[in-house]
Amino acid sequence: MTKLSVSEVNGLSDDQFEWVFRNVIELRSEAAASVLDLRPFTDAPDLCAAFDKYLDQLSVEGKLEVLKSHPDLAGRLAAKGELTQESTDEQRSAGLNELTVEQKAIMDFNNERYKNKFGFPFIICARENKIQSIIEGLKNRYNNTKVQEIVIGINEVKKICKLRILDIVQSS
């Protein structure tokens, strides 16, 4: 896919903009709708900053909704082939489609434990991690408070969002 220039992004109709950026924040097309009025963007980092600002301005409940929209890593949706294309590619890049039986059991147990404690799935930028660091993060972050995990989770969403935007838009 040919990446869009920033001037092409700025020239998209509102509907086109919403469609192109509908999943840079997992299953949150309303993020694109709220960011489109901030055009024109000067460059890809400016566009990323607009989505970051959207996330920062959400209420705690809004942030929880964003976190809850993410799938479990190597979870049921992945096993059934029901992830978004972006999530499928990201989990594959981390090797989560090649877990051993033991690793899968560890992931399933810790994902469930984490979700039971915090009320949302464990979120980490899979493209910046591999299986072992994801498993370690899942175990270590369980010891955090819910407030800490909301902050960390939203920061991980920002990393995911940035990489998804850079898949669409030329960086210079």
Catalytically active residues are 70
Q: Is 127 exposed, middle or buried (0-12, 13-18, 19+ CB in 10 A)?
A: middle
Tokens for 31? 């993020």
What are the two backbone dihedrals, phi and then psi, of residue 82, each rounded to the nearest 5 degrees?
A: -110, 15
What tokens does 94 get?
A: 């981390």
Rounded to whole angstroms, the Cα distance separating 140 from 129 reads 15
SS3 call for 4: strand
| Cα distances (Å, whole numbers) of residue 17 to 56, 100, 127, 149 | 21, 40, 24, 31
Rg (alpha carbons) of the chain, rounded to whole number: 16
